[in-house]
């Protein structure tokens, strides 16, 4: 038997085995990196969803605590809150800017992002905001993340009540002394 008949297939097998090992190792590291980035993006999506759910839970817990704190009353027809007429012209004359009805951003300290948080929690009108406790508002802010938790909503319900009742001059005077919604 000729040694070349055994040696050539053996060398070819060895060479292809080494090439296969290195190619497999190279593609395996790319696959692991792809898997890691995919898992990281899934984790980030879960964290965002969890934060949203926590905001909703905090809002519901605050509602529940508020309802437990108030004695239960059945509302009669006479207890239903009357709808006040909104006077755009009067608001513009006093505040010096155009005001949209139930624009929560009219309250000193509330911007578009906080307004969106409150809207998601069911606070969409000045009346809703005026009836919300400071604890409930703070719970919504806390659930929104650390960027929102630093805000102090202690004056927001009172400001919203003034806007709801059309007390524009009183609101303007009071806001002149506020910084970011705080006294």
Q: What is the pLDDT of residues 4-47, one digit of tens each?
A: 788 888 889 999 999 888 888 777 666 667 777 888 888 888 88
Number of domains into which the chain is organized? 1
Bridge partners (DSSP) listed for residue 182:
179
Per-residue pLDDT of the chain (183 residues; tens, 9 = 90+): 678 788 888 889 999 999 888 888 777 666 667 777 888 888 888 888 888 788 888 878 877 877 777 665 554 444 455 556 888 889 899 999 999 999 999 999 999 999 999 999 999 999 999 999 999 999 999 998 888 888 999 999 999 999 999 999 999 998 888 764 455
Asked if residue 41 is part of any domain, the answer here is yes
Range of the domain at 90: 36-183
Asked if residue 62 is part of any domain, the answer here is yes
Asked if residue 160 is part of any domain, the answer here is yes
Asked if residue 58 is part of any domain, the answer here is yes
Asked if residue 27 is part of any domain, the answer here is no
Asked if residue 55 is part of any domain, the answer here is yes
The pLDDT value given to residue 34:
76
Phi-psi region at 109: left, alpha or beta (left = phi > 0; alpha = psi -120 to 50)? left
pTM given for the model: 0.56
Asked if residue 2 is part of any domain, the answer here is no
Asked if residue 123 is part of any domain, the answer here is yes
CB of 136 closer than 8 Å to CB of 59? yes
């Amino acid at each position: 038997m000729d040694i070349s008949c055994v040696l050539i297939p053996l060398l070819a097998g060895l060479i292809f085995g080494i090439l296969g090992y290195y190619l497999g190792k190279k593609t395996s590291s790319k696959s692991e990196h792809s898997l890691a980035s995919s898992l990281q993006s899934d984790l980030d999506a879960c964290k965002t969803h969890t934060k949203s759910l926590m905001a909703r839970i905090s809002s519901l817990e605050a509602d529940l605590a508020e309802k437990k704190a108030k004695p239960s009353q059945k509302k009669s027809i006479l207890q239903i809150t009357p709808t006040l007429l909104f006077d755009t012209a009067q608001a513009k004359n006093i505040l010096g800017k155009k005001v949209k009805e139930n624009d929560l951003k009219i309250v000193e300290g509330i911007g578009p992002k906080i307004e969106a948080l409150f809207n998601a929690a069911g606070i969409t009108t000045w009346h809703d905001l005026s009836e919300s406790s400071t604890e409930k508002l703070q719970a919504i802010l806390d659930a929104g993340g650390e960027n929102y938790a630093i805000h102090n909503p202690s004056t927001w319900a009172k400001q919203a009540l003034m806007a709801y009742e059309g007390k524009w001059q009183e609101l303007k005077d009071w806001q002149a002394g506020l910084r970011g919604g705080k006294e």
